[in-house]
Structures are given as C-alpha cells and as structure tokens.
A and B are shown apart, each in its own frame.
Chain A
C-alpha cells in the first residue's frame, strides 16, 4: 500500500456574485429580394428590433477544494485512483476508504462530498457518467463500512477538472480519481 502525504486544504469557497449585466444588441438588417428582371428595383423597408440580454443573479457559497488537495482529517486521506475506463475500487483505494470511514465515525458531525474525475481520453459526455460511477463506487464502499448514506453526496466532473494537465500516462493516472471534500461541520 502506498502511503502518501496528505496536505490539508479546506478552502472556503468564495461566494460568487453574479451581477446583473445587460447589453443591447444591435440587429443587423439584411433584406433580401428576388431579382427577376434586369435591374428591377423595389423599395423594401427595414425592420429593426432590439433585444436585451440580462443575466439572472445567483449566489453560490460552500466549501471547496483546490486541485487534488484533500480534506484535513488528521493524516490520512488522499484522492483514490482508478484504472482507465474503470470504476472498480483498487485494493489501495479500499484501504484508504477504510481509514476515511473510521475517521468519519470519529467525527460524526462531518458530511462529505465525493467528486469523481476522469482523464482526458474518451468521450467527454461518457466520462461525465463514468465520473458519477467512480464517485458512487467510493460512496457505496463507505456505506458498506458503516457510514450513513445521509452524510455522503456525489458529483461528477468528468474530464473537466484535471489535477494534472499534460498528456502522459503519469498525468492521466493522477486524473482518474475521486476527490473528497468536507461539506459541513
């Protein structure tokens, strides 16, 4: 089993203010007419209309993580990693999750979000589904180990949130992962 160093990073998410903005769009008017006789002319009239684009406001707040740096739970939780196009837990992942389950039992007020990720290869949309299954694999195992399902939620980022950005197997293997984030205390 690989012992990795855990870096603590609980980052409070900034609340995102989505400001109202609007802009007026100038319509371009193109009129079309059929020419039948040479140089036949007619007098088309222009229509102009205006549309405004207005954004709704939204506020989001929560706890997030940066990159693949994980939850502060003493010493022991890392991302767990997966093989290409697979969502089955590897044995090293099961060990990690056992420690996480124990920690959650010792810290009953903590809820967790599990984010499933994929590497950049393959269909982006299929990878969204695969990320969901990867997150769910960890969730199921934690529940099997006695963690209440109410304390766990899952999310998939597909291949949209890589922790490493070069196109090498080394990097891809780091991106096929589940991240864990504390969502409440």
Chain B
C-alpha cells in the first residue's frame, strides 16, 4: 500500500522565505517615529477603525490583470474583516478617487478623497506579473495624518498569491495593534470520509483555503500538533498496530516514529523551544502525563503519578506549568501541575465533564470544552480559576478548541447536519464563522504559528 506525505509547497515556502530586504532609506518615517496608538486593545470601548482598500492597480507600465486585482483585494478585505479590528469600507462605487489617474505613492493622490468618505485608514496596492513571477507593492496610509504607516513590496510565484497578500494583512494588523494577524498560519486536523475506518491528517490555511491531505497510510491518525515554528507536526497513528507518536519534519521532508512504548502515546504538545513534548503515555495500565525529548522520543519525566487517567496535556506560555485532564475526582476535570510534577491544583470546578484544555500564549486564558446541559460547549478560564466564561451556546457538541497564534481566535469542531465542521470565533465567542462545508468529518483541529 502506498503511504505518502503530500508535497507541501506552502509550508516549505514560508520557510524558504527568503531574504528580507529591508531598505531603510531615510524616508516618510523620521528616525524616531512618534508612535500613534491606533487601537488600545484593552479599552472597553474598542471601536473598529474605518478602512478602505483602493482597487488594485497595475504597477507602472504593466498590464491590467482583473483576476489578480480582484483576488488580491478580496484576500485583504477578508483577512482584515476576520481580524475584527476594522470597519471595511469595501464598496468601490462609494469611492471618490478615480483610480486611473492616481498612483500608490504619497503625493500621487489626495488624502481628502478618502477622509471624506470616512476612511481613517487606506490600503493601496499595485501589482505586476511577469510569467510566473508576481510583484505586489502595498502601502497602508493614515488618511487623517496624511502619511504612510507602512509600505512593503513582495515578490513571489503567482500561484502563491494568497500567501503574498496574507503577509501584508499580517503587517497591517501588526502596525495597528502591535501583534500580527493570523493570516499566514495553518490548521492541521483529522478527517474521515463517510464512515471509512481510515482517518487521515489534513492541513489548510487559516481561512480554509489550500487544503492538503498529509497522511495516506489508511490507518487511524489523531491529535496533530504543530511545533512552535510551524515546520513540524507530531501526531499519533495506529498504523503499526499501536498508537505511536510520529513526527513529520516538513523542512527535511521526513517522517519518523518517536515512541515505541506499548499503549497510548498521544495528545502531544510542543514546548516553546520545541525540544520537548508533553503527552499521555501508558503506565500501569492507565494513562499518565509525561515529557519526552523531541530528538529521541526518550521519556525524561513522568509528570503525574496517579491511579486515575490523565489526558490532553498542554504547556503554560512560560513552560513552567502543564494543564491536563484527569478523572482523579471521578469525572474528567482540568488540573494544572508544575512541569516538574509534584504540586497540582484543580482548575475547573463547574460542571461534571471538562476536557481538552489549550493554554494561550498571549492572553493568559485556557480554552476547554465543558458539558453543559448535556451538550459540549467551548469555555475559557484564567489559569487562577477566575473569569470562567461560556463562549458557545450551540445545540450540537462543540469540541477540541485550539487558540490562534495571537490568542484572538479559537478554532473548534461543531457537528452540523451530522458532519463535524471546523468553526472559528474570536476569544469572546463573537464573530462565529463556519470554515468548512464539505462531507469530510473533521476532528482535533490544531492552529499553527504564522509562517
């Protein structure tokens, strides 16, 4: 039987990304820029900033390509809408500027055409395509101050147009909020066709585009987890008749088996430096939390010592603690222990069934599932047990939440018309969006860092 990992151009791509040409010619930016705070994220009155995206223009002398212009603009608009920070003024018929007569650079157009329609921010972009090669220039302007906030030029293959525009979207969000968006991140998940016995691994972009099947071993594959640099993926597979942990290194193009221990080796999570993994392994015929070396798969520490079952470990952002599930009280609850083992405390106290914790590196919150009135819902809680908050009020089970790299969104699965689909929402449970609509039954989504 053939067993192959599919090529993964986009993965490789990002890492082969290339030389970053930062040409700092003294410029529109004085050396010490007086940083304007556009959005204070902690402000209770967070408002969306009105932003316009001018129709894309061909760069000087190049031919108009409607497909690039429309696709590119739509990617920017969808990304920035997703970020929830902007009010998109995206209807070009409401624009005052005549695109043909105006350029991208400051001085070649009138800011008042934009401030008059209410746009406080403006994106201008131009493109040129030469065969396979695509060049896109972007500029983000503050129309009220009449100055450029950031400008970038990207060159890449035309087939990677989505990645290229996502990169600038990240830049826009970073310029406004201090943290980049999630637009060049990936989602890994398990998928099962119909009721086939096999469950394979897949990846897609944060927005559901570019789906790729990663494993083809016709076995059961579960619990994918990205390394913190998003170049590697660990997962558990039954293909040698025992749930062993495997690692795919996309840069080296290699798959290796990490554990050979009998019984469960599953639910692995990477340490921030990628040198260690915490996972569940069998001890004395039940499951405990351990830490293994990524390089060898050797177990270096058994973190929990209990006669109960442990599952789903995840690291705190500083890697000093591990949150995990245990039924030591009789039902599954979430606990936190030091990464050396020993001391532990119970985190969840409400409801009889709490599981699948994921600890955000950015907003100091643990997201998890909680069975509320018979249905699994997504909740968040602070690591000190305060701020317990129910985010979903679904009629069908919501499962396996995973934080986006900047902690602003959560991906999870919800059963819709009998099929588990990928869903995404912000960290307050707002802006819920269904990401997939096909018949593949999806499980265990895991959100990568930006690449």
Interface residues of A (CB under 8 A from B): 16-19, 21-40, 42, 44-49, 51-56, 58, 60, 62, 85, 121-126, 128-130, 132-133, 136, 139, 153-158, 160-162, 165, 167
Q: Which residues of B contact A132 (CB under 8 A)?
A: 263-264, 282, 285-287, 309
CB contacts (< 8 Å) of A30 on chain B: these are 13, 17-18, 154-157, 160, 163-164, 167
Given contacts A29-B17, A129-B280, A136-B286, contact A24 B7 (CB under 8 A): yes
The reply to whether A38 and B107 contact each other, CB–CB distance below 8 Å, is yes
B116 to chain A, nearest CB (A): 23
Assembled-state Cα–Cα distance A17/B218 (Å): 11
B418 and A123 within 8 A (CB): no
In the complex, the answer to whether B157 meets A129 with C-beta atoms within 8 Å is no
Instruction: Please report the C-alpha to C-alpha distance between residue A49 and residue B13 in the assembled complex, in whole angstroms.
Output: 9
Range class of the B interface residue count: 35 or more
- Write out the residue numbers on chain A whose beta carbons fall within 8 Å of the beta carbon of B321: none
Residues of A within 8 A of B250 (CB): 51, 53
Indicate if the CB atoms of B266 and A35 lie closer than 8 Å. no
B292 to chain A, nearest CB (A): 16
Q: Does B10 contact A (CB under 8 A)?
A: yes
Among residues 359 to 405 in chain B, which have CB atoms less than 8 Å away from a CB atom of chain A?
Answer: 369, 371, 376, 397, 399-400
Q: In the complex, are the beta carbons of A34 and B151 less than 8 A apart?
A: yes
Chain B, range 22-41, C-beta contacts under 8 Å to A: 22-29
CA distance A47 to B155 in the complex (A): 12
Distance, CA A19 to CA B3, complexed state (A): 6
Which residues of the partner chain B approach A18 to less than 8 Å between Cβ atoms? 1-3, 217, 239
**B222 interface neighbour in A33, A37, A124, A130, Cβ under 8 Å:** A124
Q: Which of B6-63 contact A (CB under 8 A)?
A: 6-13, 16-29, 60
Distance A183 CA – B152 CA, assembled complex (angstroms): 63
Shortest 4 CB-CB contacts between residues of A and residues of B: A38-B105, A35-B151, A30-B156, A36-B27
Tell me whether B285 and A125 are in contact (CB under 8 A).
no
Contacts of B443 in A (CB 8 A): 124
Contact of A29 among B157, B282, B353 (CB under 8 A): B157
Measured CA separation A158–B255 after assembly (Å): 24
Knowing A19-B2, A44-B21 are in contact, say whether A39-B105 is a contact too (CB < 8 A).
Answer: yes
A51:B251 contact, CB within 8 angstroms: yes
* Interface residue? B342 (CB, 8 A): no
A9 nearest CB across to chain B (Å):
15
In the complex, the answer to whether A27 meets B13 with C-beta atoms within 8 Å is: yes
Which residues of B lie under 8 Å from residue A54 when comparing CB positions? Answer: 253-254
Cβ of B286 and Cβ of A133 under 8 Å apart?
A: yes
11 residue pairs bridging A and B, Cβ less than 8 Å apart:
A22-B253, A29-B155, A32-B152, A33-B21, A38-B104, A45-B19, A124-B399, A125-B223, A125-B267, A128-B267, A129-B264
Q: How far is the CB of B44 from chain A (nearest CB, A)?
A: 34
Question: Does A31 contact B312, Cβ atoms closer than 8 Å?
Answer: no
Q: Which B residues are in CB contact (< 8 Å) with A124?
A: 222-223, 399-400, 443-444
Contacts of A48 in B (CB 8 A): 16
Q: How far is the CB of B254 from chain A (nearest CB, A)?
A: 6
Alpha-carbon separation in the docked complex, A46 to B21 (Å): 11
Q: Which has the most chain B C-beta neighbours within 10 Å: A33, A51, A123?
A: A123
Contacts of A165 in B (CB 8 A): 195
Contact A47 to B156, CB < 8 A, known contacts A25-B8, A126-B325: no
Stretch in B92-100, B200-208, B240-248 with 4+ CB within 8 Å of A: B240-248
Determine if B23 and A29 form an interchain contact, defined as CB atoms under 8 angstroms apart: no
Would you give the shortest CB distance from B451 to chain A, in whole angstroms? 11
Assuming A33-B152, A153-B262, what are 14 further A-B pairs, CB within 8 angstroms?
A18-B217, A18-B239, A25-B11, A28-B12, A28-B160, A30-B156, A32-B18, A35-B137, A39-B105, A45-B19, A51-B12, A124-B400, A128-B222, A160-B220
Closest residue of chain B to A19 (Cβ to Cβ) is B2
Output the nearest chain A residue to B282 by Cβ-Cβ distance: A132
Contact A34 B13 (CB under 8 A): no
- The contact of B285 among A24, A25, A123, A154, by CB within 8 Å, is A154
Most chain B CB neighbours (cut-off 10 Å) among A17, A32, A38, A52: A32
> Assuming the A-B contacts A18-B3, A21-B4, are A156 and B21 also in contact, with contact meaning beta carbons closer than 8 angstroms in the complex?
no
- By a CB distance below 8 angstroms, the chain A residues around B18 are 29-32, 44, 46-47
